[in-house]
Amino acid sequence: MRRPLALIVAALLIANASVVFADEAVLIDFSLLGVDIIEDPIQKGTMTQNRATMMDFSTVAGASYTEEQKKQMAISLAIENWDVILASSSRTGARQSLSYTREAQIAQDAKQFPGAKALGVRINFPLEAFNSWARIVPPFDVPAFEPKADIDDAGVIVPKADAQGSDPVNARLSRFEGSYNAESKITTALGVVKNVGVIKSLAINVKGLNFPHGLSVILKDNDGAEHVMFMGYLNFDGWRELRWDNPQYITDVRNRELRIDPLYPRSTPFVKFGGLIVSRDAGAIGGDFIVYVKDVKILYDKAVLEPVRDIDDEAIWGIVGQKEDDRKRMESQRFGSSQVMRYIERMKQETKTEFTGTTE
């Protein structure tokens, strides 16, 4: 009897070694990026920013900016703040002005995602027969270590004090890591997911309008390297989940290359949402193109089995925080200046459309 029992135990061990359970997370959900604070100074009654993702780059700006200019360095991941960047061969003033994002409200009686919001994208491709593409990118690089904070109606950010409470999992998440649902065991993030080892699958919920253009997702890792995954073509009508499965994912752990990665002060392995790429073939129709995106999800293996440490390394050394401050400083130099220039240009614009005293 001993031999059959030993064989059964061995078989169970082999079976356990062959099965890998991947975690699931929503990398970004555009329904959470609707505008809800800060009224537009010109279009009264219109909100301009998203409370949950507000960032203030004026805290690291130089002394040469006025207080009014520094106010323009506060921005969020609100859908209409995202940029559409055309390929250099397609980038004319007219086409760029006709390529932008809009917040799209899904109908309450819709079969999928009723009442939710989506990222709406308009791209004006060339009519001529040559290949082209457009990148849809966030207004700033999604921060991986931004602490949780309270944001008031004016967009003022006040960091929260560390508090474990009865929910230690959510307490240790940074602001753009979003929240963890203990029942579904799914993290819904605002652009960054940490403790990511190997990505098994990637999915995007997108609404096509029968255009034959291709769609790719841009991910950034903790070293800042971009990875572009082609999701598929948009030649369908309605909502569809496009999926990318990692062709190099090894299910059987016995066949994997086993290695130990250094931890602190190296960043915990993470992935950020870097944006989207829409590619148009030379033989495809040009002109205006519209697409809607609801969310992006990932299945992944953990990089570290238990990320909780008994010593707070960052509180002692502050190395990662210093790197984040340096990143924010560089971001403010790039982004803050452009925001101020856009604000000044907007203030110079004439809002009237008719001449004084014009009669019909």
The answer to whether residues 84 and 288 touch, using CB atoms and an 8 Å cutoff, is no
* CA 239/CA 293 separation, integer angstroms: 9
pLDDT tens, the chain, 360 aa long: 444 444 433 333 333 433 445 799 999 999 999 999 988 877 888 999 999 999 887 766 666 667 766 777 788 999 999 999 999 999 999 999 999 999 999 999 999 999 999 999 999 999 999 999 999 999 988 988 888 899 999 888 988 876 555 677 888 888 999 999 988 889 999 999 998 989 999 999 999 999 999 999 999 998 889 999 999 999 999 999 999 999 988 887 777 777 777 777 776 789 999 999 999 999 999 999 999 999 999 999 988 776 566 787 777 888 877 877 777 667 656 655 666 666 666 666 666 777 776 555
Helix (H, G, I), strand (E, B) or coil at 306: coil
Closest by CA to 135, choosing from 82, 196, 178, is 82
The answer to whether residues 70 and 333 touch, using CB atoms and an 8 Å cutoff, is no
pLDDT at 143: 86
pLDDT at 275: 98
What's the pTM value of the predicted model, to 2 decimals?
Answer: 0.84
Q: Which residues contact 280 (CB under 8 A, 6 or more apart)?
A: 125, 131, 132, 133, 213, 214, 286, 289
CATH 2.60.120.260 fits 20-348, yes or no: yes
pLDDT at 5: 41
Domain ranges of the chain: 20-348
